[in-house]
Amino acid sequence: MCATCGCSVTPHDHVHTVTLEQKVLAHNDELAEVNRKWLAERQILMLNLMSSPGSGKTTLLEQTIRTLPGEFSVIEGDQETLFDTERIRATGCRAIQINTGAGCHLDASMLADALETLDPPRGSVLFVENVGNLVCPALFDLGESGRVVITSVAEGEDKPLKYPHMFRTADLVVLNKIDLLPYVPFRREVFREHLSMVNTAAPTIEVSATRKDGLTAWHAWLKSRVS
């Protein structure tokens, strides 16, 4: 069972687990509202980036920070290591790491501590890179103003249907690694059809973070959120 959110239940403890999960989520939602107010008072746009491990969250952030003018900072979530924070700091951007240990997602309480420590500048953009996981992070509001779900062509066109909670809450879906399309059996139209079954509102932007394809559309979406 997941150490923090009780996401895996067995039949005999189902009732107790659901009750506990509801309480955990209700408490988290209260803390998320405090974070949201804290951010609004400072006019900080906080975006929560979520994906499977390795879909390209950090690569997209590195490219964004290097190519887009503006004041950015990053909160990195991983179970272990400072790798991603070091990558972001190498771009010259302020970043701090939250290591969740056994935990599989960030929560609003972790974010509250990180916000106080990082103290992002007024009017800036704050990216949160969540722990690589398409399940539990979807349940935990951090106080963000937008959710970006990143998936890659290497993961398959069925992901919106297999992980509907994640894709349902997205404000934007970024389809990454399109440079690999010639080498993997991924049909864009099937992916879009699957996505439309769980989320009709979120636009999809196709990018290759390494080859820098599609970054103009991503930048335009970011600018629209800032304004």
Name the residue nearer to ligand GTP (CB basis): 107 or 155. 155
Name the residue nearer to Mg ion (CB basis): 58 or 208. 58
Select from 135, 210, 217, 221 the one that contacts ligand GTP (CB under 6 A). Answer: 210
Q: Quick check: 55 binds ligand GTP (CB under 6 A)? A: yes
Select from 64, 176, 199, 204 the one that contacts ligand GTP (CB under 6 A). Answer: 176
Question: What is the side-by-side strand order in the sheet with 72-78?
Answer: 94-99, 72-78, 125-129, 45-51, 146-152, 172-176, 204-206
Return the one option of Mg ion, ligand GTP, none that residue 210 interacts with (CB less than 5 to 8 A, by type): ligand GTP
Name the residue nearer to ligand GTP (CB basis): 56 or 160. 56
x-or-dash string of contact with ligand GTP, 65-84, rule CB under 6 A? -------------------x
Select from 54, 70, 123, 203 the one that contacts ligand GTP (CB under 6 A). Answer: 54
Question: What size, in residues, is the chain?
Answer: 227
Contact 140, 105 (CB under 8 A): yes
Closest CB 58 distance from Mg ion, rounded Å: 3
Select from 62, 84, 107, 144 the one that contacts Mg ion (CB under 5 A). Answer: 84
Q: Quick check: 94 binds ligand GTP (CB under 6 A)? A: no
Q: Report the C-alpha gap between 111 and 60 in whole angstroms.
A: 21
Print burial letters for 59-96: b (CB count within 10 Å at least 16), e (below 16).
bbbbbbbeeeeeebbbbbbbeeeeebbebbbeeebbbb
Name the residue nearer to ligand GTP (CB basis): 121 or 214. 214
Where are the alpha helices (H) located in the chain, listed in sequence order? Answer: 14-41, 57-67, 83-89, 108-118, 159-162, 164-168, 188-198, 215-226
Closest CB 82 distance from ligand GTP, rounded Å: 12
Q: What tokens does 211 get?
A: 């080859």
What backbone torsions phi and psi does residue 202 show, to the nearest 5 degrees? -75, 130
Name the residue nearer to ligand GTP (CB basis): 58 or 204. 58
Name the residue nearer to ligand GTP (CB basis): 46 or 74. 74
* Site for Mg ion, rule CB under 5 A: 57-58, 84
* Site for ligand GTP, rule CB under 6 A: 51, 53-59, 84, 132, 176-177, 179-180, 208-210
